[in-house]
Amino acid sequence: MRESWQERFAGTPAVLKSEKRRKTVVPVLDFEIGGNEFVTMAGPCSVETEFQLMATALHVRRCGARVLRGGAFKPRSSPYSFQGLGIEGLKLLATARQETGLAIVTEVMSECDVPLVAEYADILQIGSRSMENYSLLEAAARSGRPLLLKRGMVATIADLLQAAEVVFENGNAQVILCERGIRTFETAMRNTFDAAGIALLKQISHLPVIADPSHASGCRELVPALARIAVAAGADGLLVEVHPHPDKAWSDGEQSLDFAGFDEMMASLDPYLKLRANGLDEPAGDRLAEAFG
C-alpha cells in the first residue's frame, strides 16, 4: 500500500492539515494572507534611500500590492557587498507604511535583533540562510508577529515543515511558507523553482504559501512567467523584487523588475487568478477557453 502524505510527514503534526484545522489565515493590518485574496508583496531587495523606497512603495500600491518588502539588514554572500542600512532602513520602511498603508515585511537575522525589527515590521521574514536557525525561530515566534518562513537553499519540504513546527511549538501559529527556489545541479538560473513543492504544500499543510520568483530565477525576464506558474500551482501570493532603476540597484538588480515590468506582470496574472477563482465545477477545457480566449 502506498504511504500517505500524512504518514510521510507525520513528524510535523501541527502544520499538517487535519479535520480540526484545514486552513490557516494570517491577519495583517486590514487584510488576510491565505484567505480568498491573492496577496502581492513587492519592493526593493535593499532599502537604499528615502526616494527609492517611497517611489517604489507608491507605485506597487497603485498596482495592487498589499505588502512592501525591503531589506534593512542584508545577509550577503560576499562581506564586501552592501549589508543594508540597519535601523535607518527600518525607520524608512515605517515611514513608507504610514504614507501608503502597505504592511511591511523585512528580514530579521539574529535573535538579538527580533525586538527591534518587530517594533517596525508587520511580518518578520526568516531568510533562506536562517531557516534552520532554531534560536532565531524561537525568538521570532515569541515576538507575536507573523513569520514569513523562506525555504532553505538545500532544504527539503520536510525540512521546511520542521522549521514551521518549531515556530508552532513556541506558541506562534501565524506562519507563512515561502518557496524561493533551491540549489540543484542546474546552473542556468540562480536557483531551481519548485512549483511542485508549492502544490504539495497546499495539499498537505494548512499554512499559506507564498512564492518568490525573483530569487528562484535570479533573472528579471523570467519573473513574470514563474509568477504565473505560482498562481497555477496554488500559491496564496507573491514576493517580488521591484526597483525604480534595477540596473543601478545596490543589490540584486538583475532579478528586480522596473515599474513597467511590475505593471505587466500584475496584468498578466489576471486571467490565471480569474481561472482559479472559478473553482473546479466546470470542465478544465471550458475554464481554459474562457480565461484565454
Closest by Cα among 74, 72, 73 to 92: 72
Residue type, position 142, single letter: R
Instruction: Check which CATH number belongs to the domain holding 268 and give it.
Output: 3.20.20.70
Over residues 254-275, the pLDDT tens digits come to 999 999 999 999 999 999 999 9
**pLDDT under 50: residue ranges of the chain:** 280-293
Q: What pLDDT was estimated at residue 184?
A: 93
Q: What pLDDT was estimated at residue 54?
A: 98
Over residues 141-163, the pLDDT tens digits come to 999 999 999 999 999 999 999 99
Number of domains comprising the chain: 1
In contact, 74 and 89? CB cutoff 8 Å? no
**The model's pTM:** 0.91
Burial class (CB in 10 A: 0-12, 13-18, 19+), 199: middle
Q: What pLDDT was estimated at residue 6?
A: 83
Q: Which residues contact 40 (CB under 8 A, 6 or more apart)?
A: 60, 64, 65, 66, 67, 237, 238, 240, 266
Angle, helices 259-277/223-233, rounded to nearest 10 degrees: 20
- For residue 238, the enclosing domain spans 5-292
